[in-house]
Chains A and B, each alone.
Chain A
């Protein structure tokens, strides 16, 4: 294997360790607010860091490996589909926005479940949401680990098990020592690497392909469908592509890993700055990454495994030393996603379950030990699963996004903006959303030509409204305590 690639990889991991150790000093110093600090970075994020951590958490492996691979196969139609994600850059912060920031502070909420617990005052809502988070995100995380190990394997030539081991050690030490603040700071570094990497590879690919017009001619010669909005075989219908606006566009507000970031910023100024930076960065990365996938096709025809398009085109169009640095970006993307998911699942266990129902009067010292312990145990569990990933986990990973959106979108939105929203509505909505999503996903994959997430989101909306009105009438006007 090319030594240059190895050097940049290890330099990158070393930088991560240094940042983690450096930020961990904050965790030790602020003993009294350990939970706030470890899981939320004491709500002190500035605008630029907030934007980058949102983009990096969301962007992850899907945009750096899966996305360009799909664009390579499908052509410009997949880039069109991917551009639905630009909405996340502004939508999440404008919708949750100031209301969520104010309410989260008022409730002293650290997790999405915290917010729901205080808003609806219902044990059932808390348990249902903690279970959804633990199951869905745990599976999503395991699949990311498999992706990370696969990437290290292909970059270094290590065996899969050794690669997984290297990856696991790096992630675990980092998350355990650093907490949320360390994670968002590396997210920022990784976001910058992703932006610069995208730009360099895009320009390199266009030059290697002899200019955009030339590349388009080659694509038309091979298969004219590649430059239409309909995919290589005409299979991307407008209804299907549009439904991704729900799955990866506006629905992203309800993902716990995204929502938790929307309660972590310092002030309105940080939020405003993040809106601008986030929209520019997410738009540029999505457009650039996926265009690279399409442009790579005439240059490197016949790649069998679509996920390899990005590493291969990078090695093809850039000098080795530069390729080594740029390839740190996909690894960065996967690591930051894994870091934040790990933190989130452990906060669901410690904060939502342990502190609420097991030992509410735990001392700060005890909470700290449990937090580190749970994070470490979860890491080891994920490692064990990733050693030989069962098919179910891969399936659950694909499923996790839609499931979380169907569960949380209306309890969160109505909880913020509809005063009468009550716990019956929230419960009805979560049950209807998750149950219908599981059923539709398995038995009716593309209802009316749309992605399977669309109908459950609609159904859970009506379940919420009906659930709220029915109980509202029978019990009289509920006086909420907020």
Chain B
């Protein structure tokens, strides 16, 4: 399948796509670190020393409940401010390429 556009360099949409994939990797790493450090940082103590938030052990509350809320907020921020709308079809890509840059 021959195509005039070269792989990466000339299609601005691919630069956008690459950047967004890196954002995804970054978010997953952040998510993992948050999840891991609260769970094993606070959860490795003896059970008698546990503190509780809303009835749940603090390690669980911060790692899983707050962690989920933080990730949801980050996803919303990323979608609203960092993702760019592009066309997926090759035909009209030039026409739509110029718009939507943050």
Contacts and interface: CB of A to CB of B under 8 A. Distances in A.
Interface in B35-68: 35-36, 39-40, 43-44, 47, 50, 52, 54-57, 59-60, 63-65, 67-68
B55 A97 contact: no
A272 interface: yes
Nearest to B76: A276
Interface stretch (A83-91, A340-348, A443-451): A83-91
Contact of A94 (B24, B32, B88, B90): B24
A213 interface: yes
A76 B38 CA distance: 14
Contacts of A107: 1
Interface string A267-297: 1110010011001100110010000000000
Contacts of A220: 47
A390 to B, nearest CB: 37
A313 B83 CA distance: 42
B60 A79 contact: yes
Interface stretch (A223-231, A315-323, A375-383, A430-438): A223-231
A164 to B, nearest CB: 37
Contact of B83 (A272, A284, A287): A272
Contacts of B36: 238, 242
B11 to A, nearest CB: 8
B3 to A, nearest CB: 6
B40 A229 contact: yes
B22 to A, nearest CB: 9
A105 B89 contact: yes
Interface residues of A, number: 56
A275 B79 contact: yes
Contacts of B56: 212, 216
A95 B18 CA distance: 8
Nearest to A419: B7
Contacts of A90: 24, 27-28, 71, 75
Nearest to A108: B1
Interface string B2-38: 1100011000011011101101110110011001100
A245 B54 CA distance: 27
A98 interface: yes
Given A228-B47, A283-B71, A283-B72, A97 B24 contact: yes
B64 A268 contact: no
B52 A216 contact: yes
Contacts of B55: 211-216
Q: Tell me the interface secondary structure of chain A in the complex.
A: helix
Interface residues of B, number: 53
Contact of A417 (B21, B43, B75, B78): B21
Nearest to B2: A481
B75 A83 contact: no
Given A242-B36, A283-B71, A97 B85 contact: no
Given A98-B86, A102-B17, A272-B79, A287 B24 contact: no
A421 to B, nearest CB: 10
Contact of B85 (A79, A227, A268, A280): A268
A284 to B, nearest CB: 8
Nearest to A272: B79
B75 to A, nearest CB: 5
B23 A94 contact: yes
Contact of B20 (A98, A211, A242): A98
A95 B47 CA distance: 39
Nearest to A280: B72
Contacts of A86: 31, 67-68, 71
A99 interface: yes
A80 interface: yes
A482 interface: yes
B17 A98 contact: yes
Contact of B24 (A91, A228, A272): A91
A225 B57 CA distance: 12
A238 to B, nearest CB: 5
Interface in A434-482: 480-482
Can you list the 8 inter-chain pairs with the closest CB atoms, starting with the nearest? A94-B24, A212-B55, A99-B17, A213-B55, A224-B47, A98-B17, A229-B43, A268-B85
Interface of B: 1-3, 7-8, 13-14, 16-18, 20-21, 23-25, 27-28, 31-32, 35-36, 39-40, 43-44, 47, 50, 52, 54-57, 59-60, 63-65, 67-68, 71-72, 75-76, 78-79, 83-90
19 contacts: A80-B39, A80-B60, A83-B68, A90-B24, A91-B27, A94-B24, A98-B86, A102-B88, A107-B1, A212-B54, A215-B55, A216-B55, A227-B50, A228-B43, A229-B39, A267-B88, A272-B79, A279-B71, A482-B7
Given A225-B47, A287-B68, 15 more contacts: A84-B35, A86-B71, A90-B24, A99-B17, A102-B13, A102-B17, A102-B86, A215-B55, A216-B52, A220-B47, A227-B57, A229-B44, A229-B59, A250-B28, A284-B68
